Amino acid sequence: MKYTGSCHCGNVKFEAEGAIESGLACNCSICQRKGSLLWFVPRANLRLLTPEDQTRSYLFNQHRIEHRFCPNCGIHPYAEAVAPDGTPTAAINLRCIDGIDLAAIPVHHYDGRAR
């Protein structure tokens, strides 16, 4: 299934393909603050509909994850990283996907703080 999503102001728009089976709520220092609900897909399944340079990246700690956000409205629609198996991966914030019923999606809690 193909989904569309965006930041709040529309400066960052994307489509993503895959099955949304669950969302991951992580308690690490940044996810806790963002309140994001993450859906992981291969980076190839995420297609930006707006120029990538309209996002900014926030990097911290080991700089392994690019936390993409909109510099205009401040929303964080996705992050990019390379999975342990070498696959470029996108962690899409389900809260930025259009027209889905978040309450119907099972949430898995992940202890990112302990990693």
Question: Which residues lie near Zn ion (CB under 5 A)?
Answer: 7, 9, 11, 70, 72-73
Residue number with CB closer to Zn ion (7 or 26): 7
Contact between 16 and 5 (Cβ < 8 Å): yes
Residue number with CB closer to Zn ion (65 or 70): 70
Q: Least distance from C-beta 106 to Zn ion, angstroms?
A: 28
Residue number with CB closer to Zn ion (16 or 96): 96
Task: Please tell me what DSSP assigns to residue 29.
Answer: H
Nearest to 3 by CA among 101, 80, 88: 101
Q: Least distance from C-beta 75 to Zn ion, angstroms?
A: 5
Contact between 20 and 100 (Cβ < 8 Å): yes
